[in-house]
Amino acid sequence: VPTGTRDLELDMKGIRRAKAPSVSTTSRVTPDEHGWSSSSSSIATPLTMDPLTATMKVGRTIMASPVGNGTLRATILSAYDLPTADTPTSVTMSYAESNGTGNEVSTGPPAAKHRDHANSFKFGKASSSSLSSVSNQLELSAPLSTLFESTVSFTLTYANPARNLTSTVTIHKTLRVNETQWLILNLDSAMKGTPLESSESRASDSEKGDESTPTLRLKLRVEGPYRPEVAAVINLANSWFHAVDAVTDATVGTTTGFVRDIPKNFPAVQLLLVPTVPLATIGVVALPIVAGVGIVCLPFLLPVLMLLLTIGAISGAIGGGLYFSTREGRTRIQHVAEPSYQTFLMTKTGQRIVYDVGPRPSPQALAHAVLPQDMMGKLVASLLVDLVGSASYLIPLAGEAFDLTWAPVSMVLVGAMYDDVMPNLKYVALMEELLPLTDWIPSATLGWVKEFGPGIINIGVSRMNVAKRAGRREREAVVSMSR
């Protein structure tokens, strides 16, 4: 075989095997006894990985991927009622980490002095049409988890450091990620033990008993990226929505025109409406008979009914998911879900789920943020938890297998609702789901009785006492009138 032919064959094999990235091909050219060159190849054994392991590996990689820095932006607006008429030199924003490192940035001097307030100054450019960067804007960048848990200091500096005024803001107590807050901070002397000096105007105000506290007015906002897993879900959802929109744009117009043109092009199609009347009549008449047979044969038809309900629920979920993925569906669901989403996002648990502001919340903390906290809401949730737990009796023995899955869920839900009043109740809920023939114990409802039962009894007793006193007074009034 000529050398060129063998090399070509080797190259083609290499191309075919190059499609599988886990296979590596190496070749070696050696002369044979006839002087021709020959090649030999060795193929590495591909590494196999089951889909579950691959999915878990990808998930760990996404959750462990680095997160971008957060940004704290402050816009210094003005300083009011300062203790001295001297013009400050700047406003400094700084923070310090636990290891002693940190950062600070400063503005320029005030742009103007307030006319209506003594010893008050405005910051920022005097001309709003200026295209240059505004000197009253400060920005700090750091890892979001570090920045969100830090305490930021704002210092109004003077040429004489002894006159510096300062104030602090704890970010996680004041702000939420991607939310803007307008703040008025009280300023204190940066030198401990140094009282604030008073100008003539402040002295006169003090004599009148109307001394004002120096304040710094600013706009504060912290921004940061999503957690890696949240960002991956958002990117996947956006890709899915783009694909659905492309398919919808290509098919909806054609389908709508086809359906609209059928009665025009095929008038005989309208004749198909004639058989529907007797068929509908037969269906209505036979409905009681079918319902009666179904009630009598319910114990035997229950598995079939459960299968049909499961298929219907899955089909409805798929259809609803496809509809709510379209533009119209997204618009409809946005009006309903947006208020609830924004409310949840402003909670501490919502912030920890969506943004990298600290450790991820536990399942119980997530359930605590979602479940209701009022008396009637907890009662409904508790009854639903006990109802699902007792549903295993619908299918004896086989239903106990469902309890193995429901037991940890029930434990999390009960702990989220009643850990404050009965910390050990969640373990009772876990055991009564795992042990056989104990699902009849209403563990969640027992927690509701423990939390709200004494209060309801006290209200009832107090109302009974009020009714007794009112009845006693009426009897005394009747007796006095009879005399």
Identify any residues that bridge with 50 across adjacent strands, giving them in sequence order: none
Helix (H) or strand (E) holding 313: helix 298-323
- Give the number of other CB atoms < 10 A from CB of residue 355: 24
Strands (E), 158-214: 165-170, 179-186, 188-189
- For residue 212, give the DSSP letter: P
In single-letter form, the type of residue at position 16 comes to R
All CATH 2.60.40.150 domain ranges of the chain, comma separated, are: 69-224
Predicted structure pTM score: 0.57
pLDDT in tens, the chain (483 residues): 444 443 433 333 333 333 334 444 444 444 444 444 444 444 444 445 555 555 555 555 555 554 568 889 999 999 988 888 888 998 999 887 766 667 888 888 888 888 877 788 988 765 444 434 457 889 888 888 888 888 899 999 998 888 899 999 888 888 888 888 999 999 988 776 544 443 334 434 434 444 578 999 999 998 888 888 888 888 998 999 999 888 888 776 666 666 566 656 655 556 666 677 788 888 888 888 888 887 887 777 778 888 888 999 999 999 888 888 888 888 888 888 888 888 888 888 888 888 888 778 888 888 888 888 889 999 999 999 988 888 776 666 666 677 788 888 999 999 989 988 888 998 988 888 888 777 788 888 999 998 888 888 888 888 888 888 888 888 888 888 877
Superfamily covering domain 69-224: C2 domain (2.60.40.150)
Place of tokens 């737990």: 389
Distance CA 224, CA 477 (A): 73
Distance CA 424, CA 414 (A): 10
What is the model's pLDDT at position 220? 92
What is the model's pLDDT at position 54? 54
140 close to 71: Cβ distance less than 8 angstroms: yes
37 close to 194: Cβ distance less than 8 angstroms: no
